[in-house]
Structures are given as C-alpha cells and as structure tokens.
Amino acid sequence: MKAFHLVSCVVALLAISAAHGQPEGEVVSGFQCVGINIPGLHLSQDDLRSGARFPLILDAPSEDAKAVRRISTIIYIAWPPVVENGFVKAMSYDGTTGWLEQNAIRPLRRADGTTGGCTLRRRADGQIMFHLEPGLGINN
Amino acid sequence: MNCGSDALLLQANGVDPTVLAVRAVYQFGAGAGPGVANADDSENIAQLTGLSPASLAANGLSSSSTVGDWRATVIAKLGSATANQSVLAQ
C-alpha cells in the first residue's frame, strides 16, 4: 500500500511539473549566455531588428577565418570564457562552436546593474534553448 | 514575409526553421527573431529584443509579454501541428 502511495505521489508530481511547463532536455554545461554588445558595436534599433551589423561566429580566432554561424541578441560563450587573439569561444543555437570577436558581447544585466546568466538545455532535436535568470535583458 | 530567406537565416543561426521560428523572424527581425525562436516560454520578449513599448504594442504585445504568450497566440491561429512544422523540405 505504501509503495502504491509513493508511486501515486511521483506520478502526481510529474503531472504538476508538466502542467507548469518544466523545461525539457539535458542541461548543457561549460557555456553561458551573454548579450550582444549594443553600445560597443554602436547598434541602433534598426540594427537590432535587422541584425545586418551583427558579427559572425568564425571557424578560427582570426579576422580572415570562415564564417560558420550567425548570432542573435542572446549569445552562448564558453564558461569560463576562452579568449584567443581578441576572439571569444562561442556556441551557436545548434551547438556548433567557433569564435566571435570579443567586442561583440557584454554581460547580461538587470535594471539595477547586477549581472547574471542562464541555464542551457539541449532538446531532443539537438536545439540548445536558453532560460535566463529573472530580470536580465540586452538593454540594461 | 519571405519564408525562404527567413528559413535560410534561421539555419545560419543554427535554428530549426519551423513555421513558428520563421514567424519570429518576420515579427521581431533577423537580429532578434532567432533568439526569440530559441528562448524558453518564460522569457520576457522585451528583454530579448530591446523593442520599445510602442513597437511591442504595434505587435499586440506589452512589456510583460513572454515568449510563451506570443507562441500561444501564433499556435491559436495556425494550430500546433502547423506552427511546429519545418518550412524546408526534408
């Protein structure tokens, strides 16, 4: 009877987790979220929307390296940061790693100026989703 | 909306080009759209996109709208199966 009760409780807890949209997938460690460096890259509202002036993730830490992925406003970088020749090791949303110019990123901040990061989870389809700590944004 | 070029842009960002993801690029732009497509439901859209309250309002959103709220409105219009379908032939 006790065993049945225990199983019922576990099932109930799992149902509650599902109902609250518990994030799915295994946690990806060794990488953290940062934001695109709006002031450092002198990005306007139009630039943020179009992404036209966003730097690219390259296959080597060199200006003449080949582009492998584009970036968006939230960027994944190796954590602790790995910096080589002015480039930081980065990872795209599908897990492809490469190098991004160091000036392209800055910490995510809350309105009060404190910094924070995220939890990354790899979905079954390989996509790496982010969940930011509360209050963080690219404009703060 | 140019589905083909938006889908290719999403692929270049490493994002699966579903109908929902293409809609994110159309609505939030090539800069911020892929980030919205790859965010958890609980994320605040204004914090990810940097959109002003006026721009959010023009998109039927507010400064407290989450990615999940936005996804729900798109899914309500298109249905879950269509919204999560890839726009590129396998």
Taking the Cβ of residue A38 and every Cβ of chain B, the question of whether any pair is shorter than 8 Å is answered with yes
Contact in structure between B86 and B18 (CB atoms under 8 Å) = yes
Classify residue B88: in a domain, yes or no: no
Percentage above 70 pLDDT, chain A: 84
B49: which chain A residues are within 8 Å (Cβ-Cβ)?
Answer: 48, 73, 138
Residue B15: give the domain boundaries: 3-83
CB burial of residue A38 (10 Å; 0-12, 13-18, 19+): middle
Contact in structure between A99 and A61 (CB atoms under 8 Å) = yes
Please, what is the Cα angle at A136 between A114 and B84, to 5 degrees? 160
Place of tokens 């200006």: A63
Which chain B residue has the Cα nearest residue A44? B50
B44: which chain A residues are within 8 Å (Cβ-Cβ)?
Answer: 137
Question: What phi and psi values does residue A33 have, to the nearest 5 degrees?
Answer: -90, 140
DSSP alpha helices (H): ranges in B13-66?
19-37, 45-49, 53-58
Q: How many CB pairs under 8 A join A and B?
A: 98
Per-residue model confidence as pLDDT tens digits over A109-131: 999 999 999 999 999 999 999 99
Cα–Cα distance measured from residue B19 to residue A54, given in angstroms and rounded to the nearest whole number: 24
**What is the pLDDT, as a whole number, of residue A22?**
58
Averaged pLDDT for residues A9-29: 56
As a whole number, the mean pLDDT across chain B is: 92
- In this prediction, residue B59 has a pLDDT band, given cuts at 50, 70 and 90, of confident
Cα–Cα distance measured from residue B49 to residue A138, given in angstroms and rounded to the nearest whole number: 7
pTM of the model: 0.87
Classify residue B90: in a domain, yes or no: no
Classify residue B72: in a domain, yes or no: yes
Contact in structure between B31 and B20 (CB atoms under 8 Å) = no
Q: Where are the domains of chain A?
A: 24-132
